[in-house]
A and B are shown apart, each in its own frame.
Chain A
Amino acid sequence: MLFVEFRFFVFFLIVFGGYWTLRGNTARKWWLLLCSHTFYACFFIGEPAEFLAHVTHGEWAQLPDGWWFPAVLWASTCMDFAVGLGIAGASSEARRKAWLLVSVVVNVGVLGFFKYFNFFITSGVEFLDWFGLHTSLHTLKIILPYGVSFYTFQSLSYSIDVYRRRLEPVRRFLDLAFFISFFPQLVAGPIVRAMTFLPQLLEKRVWANVDVRGAVTLFFVGFVKKACVSELASQFSDRFFAAPQKYTHPAAVIGMLFYAAQIYCDFSGYTDMAIATARLLGYELTLNFDFPLFSRSVTEFWRRWHISLSTWLRDYLYISLGGNRGTKLFIWRNLLLTMLLGGLWHGAAWHYVLMGGLNGLALIVHREWAQLTENAGAIFRRVMAVLAWPLTFYWILVTFILFRAAPTLNAKTHAFEATALQNAWAAVKAISFIGRRGKLTFNMESAGILAVLALLHWLNFHGVLGRWWRRLPDWACAGLLGIGTIIAVLFVPVKYKPFVYFQF
């Protein structure tokens, strides 16, 4: 069930009505827990009547793939609940550490098995083949449970925060289960920290404090981003990435800009809708995007892009590795390792690792450059201020190419025509005005669409749209939202592409 689907609106109306009708905080949490698992089940259950019939008749082989996904979610939750209590009750530091180790090993193990097992086996076999050592290792038929990358990180944040004494362990299992499976953030984030969310569970949410107008507006914005802009942009970017070497250099830039718009609107649109949905139920999730495409350095970009992931990596990985302490080489190692693992988190493929590596290198370069130019003259600073944004944006585009890179398969022979990295390199050359230019172009109207999108994003970045919207009376907002909804619906495809981040 996607946030942009009709059935989600029906589902949410029931959830919303039921939630605010219930009086007690515990009853509401049970209700949301039930709804969250219903939401989760919609991803794999198929036809409910058929599913029930198979269960009743014990036809386990007939059940749809992934019927066991909730078991992984529950196992992870139970384990972290026990770990939290274990850490709190441990008599020595060594025991506390042992409990934490259980959580880290199990959570990382779950993620590693489901997401990376086949990747490491395949890579290992290819590596040994390279040296002429032939092995008979086989991959397994593993299905990645929905949201596993997100909820294992949330569970880990809980155990680590309890271990670091920043958080009291929860005494009620319901609270932890609710935190981990809360449906707005369950399958595609944002990665909400236990420290941010668990305190919100202590007291009953108050309807009078819900900013309905703000939440509905945010949902609408997210809906437009995902359902209209991202889907439209994907039609251009798909064409470009199908054969990047065939496009003229300016057309390649247009194709790439559409991809930047697609990926940004896809993911930030999803999190906008997630935050808005949670807000309508009285809960606040973490901000995940803060106009990252206007960043003036790679460091700033990672403070603004997928904030919940980058701060998670910073607080639980980078700092655990030593952070900014130690020699320059040590800090570089920490930065590079954090970004490499961050890249790998995105997907079990080498181009994601390379993407992480390039971002790590860029962070190191920027760190050293900032130190080197700390005392530079005013003119130099002005020149750099002008160049900072285009240079950063270019680098972001290069890393986005690696994010998207996929091999080309011959439709008839099913043989590889080009690897993911070869395609990525062709796209990098095309947007960098290097090498032979192709002949394919996009028409002028497409550049116009990009210009309109860029202008709207710029106006929003400078708060112009927000200020104007806030000045409007409520009745005007309601009317405009009604008109806007129908205009947005005009540009929504009948069938959506899945959210890009669902695959993670």
Chain B
Amino acid sequence: MATISAVTNAVRGAVTATVPTSRPTIGKSALLGVIFLTAVFSTCALLGPCLPFPEVSTVREKIEHLARHGDDYEILFVGSSHVQFQIMPTIFDRVAGMNGVAVKSFNAGIPAMVSPEDSYVLEEMLRRPHGRLRWVFVELSCLGTQVWGENTSRFAYWHDTARLTLLAQRLRREARGKRSRLAKDPTATIFDRWSVWTTTVGRLYGHARAWLIRGANLSRGSEVLSRGLQLPGWEEDLRGSLGENGDGWVWAGRRLQQMTPEMRKQYDGEYAERLANPAVKDRADAVCQSALERIVTAITRAGARPVFLVPPTTAGRNFYPTEERERELTILDFSDVRQNAKLFLPENRMDLGHVNTAGAEIFTEDLARRFVELAKGSTPAP
């Protein structure tokens, strides 16, 4: 490109700079833009598969563990902290074995993991060796559209196109629902409508941004470099993510073994409420149901059988499949405070949503016994 030294831009510009002599045509500019974008997308597509799984605490360690030992397990437990802190594979295997069903299980629970992250993690795990896998226990959770930890790898790593599409559809439905409620509400102001719009757009932007971050492999090179150069932050904490026994169950810590007086007060209130009004089944919308179907498909394709869990929490609503699917799918519900009285004793609780280690032992034993009934009464998937 020929250049001349000229007074910058306009007639009386004070600074000199090099400027092009020929005016770029729109066609040429468009062509250059296309070349730039092609280079961007093809580099992303080429680099992505060459990179290791992102450095997301606990997720990476569990997936890497399954990549090495996936063929050892018949059972996987997938879900949030309700699974990670509450299901003890050592106890589960022992109780099941004592009742005549010898299995080896792994707790693949990740704290704060809800739909659609759970389906992504599950699909990644099932992409690893799983020759003996027969059962996958998944915590039921509704598709969450909230944007949290926006600037973290934890938020970005699961934002593939499939998950983004689900989120966008759910956001659209949520916004439509809120708008129609506001239309009926005579006290609603323009700011309420504005707030619905900004919340929807803000969340969509947050998820789209995470999709871009994931697609562009943002920071993945520096993760490899940090690990290679042993820079702060790369350290692997296998005990913290796989637990003492290496089976994925992690002890929540001494501090979380009993409720604080304030929490106890809150718990008592919620408990009384659940005694009076048991939790309702929230079937949400078609988008949440399709996210659930995705999980079912992934598990059955892997040759295993899905079992859905409703953990022992005092929440007023629990996500459930449609009535028709509820009859077809296996759901183990532990949320009834009367039927699972032991799990709701204050001495067995960590907080409103979780049991402590003593409660986890009881919960795991109950779960194992119900699994044995299930295993003996059914023909496992091939």
A interface residue numbers (CB < 8 A to B) = 6-7, 47-49, 52-53, 56, 195-197, 199-200, 202-206, 208-214, 228, 231-232, 235-236, 238-239, 279, 282-284, 286, 443, 445-446, 449, 470, 473-475, 478-483, 485-487, 489-495
Contacts and interface: CB of A to CB of B under 8 A. Distances in A.
B8 A491 contact: no
Contact of A211 (B18, B217, B228, B229): B18
Contacts of A206: 9-10
A200 to B, nearest CB: 5
B219 A490 contact: yes
A214 B18 contact: yes
Contacts of A196: 14-15
Interface string B32-74: 1101111110011001000000000000000000000000000
A443 B36 contact: no
B230 interface: yes
B31 A475 contact: yes
B162 interface: no
Given A6-B209, A443-B229, A284 B17 contact: yes
Contacts, number: 155
Residue of B10, B11, B151, B225 with most partner-chain A CB within 10 A: B10
B231 interface: yes
Nearest to A480: B39
B35 A203 contact: no
Interface of B: 1, 6, 8-15, 17-20, 23-24, 28-29, 31-33, 35-40, 43-44, 47, 151-153, 156, 191, 194-195, 198-199, 202, 209, 212-213, 216-222, 225-226, 228-232
B1 A213 contact: yes
A199 B230 contact: no
Given A6-B209, A48-B198, A485-B40, A494 B218 contact: yes
Nearest to A496: B151
A479 to B, nearest CB: 4
Nearest to A495: B151
A56 B28 CA distance: 49
Please classify the interface of chain B as helix (H, G, I), strand (E, B), loop, or mixed, using the class held by over half of its residues. helix
Given A53-B191, A446-B229, A478-B35, A200 B43 contact: no
Contact of A49 (B10, B20, B198, B213): B198
B208 to A, nearest CB: 10
B219 A493 contact: yes
B8 A482 contact: no
B321 to A, nearest CB: 35
A235 B226 contact: yes
Given A200-B14, A209-B8, A213-B20, A492 B219 contact: yes
Contacts of B6: 209
B9 A200 contact: yes
B37 to A, nearest CB: 7
Given A56-B191, A446-B229, A482-B40, A203 B10 contact: yes
Contacts of A200: 8-10, 12-14
A7 B209 CA distance: 9
B9 A209 contact: yes
B105 to A, nearest CB: 33
Given A202-B12, A203-B12, A204-B10, A479 B39 contact: yes
B222 A232 contact: yes
Given A205-B10, A487-B43, A235 B231 contact: yes
A47 B194 CA distance: 13
